[in-house]
Chains A and B, each alone.
Chain A
């Protein structure tokens, strides 16, 4: 079964510091991987996606993620945190073929300290 593990349910960074949110997936076949952001009382917004093209994926709001097959990881980074980045972030996986079930991680809440 497909799954993703997000390390750290809460991450705090200072404004201007590096953001690193960790995600590992379980897979025997190449997956599609996603990062979503959720602001309080809102739905999910796609930040970026990996679909077997370039391993370094750039998304919106300055975020990027690198697909590392050897480590089965897809960590999300941003060089300099902004106050507006405070939100909950979900890593998700989907496999090609069949229906489009997306499996989400448990989420990481990012706090940005001024």
Chain B
């Protein structure tokens, strides 16, 4: 069983640029959630993808968008980067509709991508 992987590990961009972050979900999982963790803060929910559709969204502007692919991997795209977008971006995969029911839909986190916007 492979765990959640994210790429790249680190990224430096300048203000106004666009960035794409990637996440491969754990084998057998069908759901990917993305979180932004600013320095010294807890992770903040960006959105969740289930069966290739956005399944819920946090308080983030539309320039944060995502995709989920048939193999359940996912991308997070951020347009028009701002300095405040500098953060650790975490991806978490889980299984909705598992046999054990919603109480056990544990989210497994990847190591994150550290984005720095200059």
Contacts and interface: CB of A to CB of B under 8 A. Distances in A.
A100 B42 contact: no
A83 interface: no
Contacts of B55: 99
Q: How large is the interface on B (under 10, 10 to 19, 20 to 34, 35 or more residues)?
A: 20 to 34
Give the contact-size bracket for chain A.
Answer: 20 to 34
A21 B109 CA distance: 22
Contacts of A41: 114
Contacts of A105: 42
Contacts of B41: 106-107
A102 interface: yes
Contact of B109 (A43, A49, A52, A107): A43
19 contacts: A41-B114, A43-B111, A44-B43, A46-B107, A46-B108, A51-B104, A90-B42, A96-B102, A97-B102, A100-B48, A100-B56, A100-B94, A101-B58, A102-B33, A104-B43, A104-B44, A106-B42, A107-B40, A107-B42
Across the A-B interface, the 5 shortest Cβ-Cβ residue pairs: A99-B56, A104-B42, A51-B103, A43-B109, A44-B109
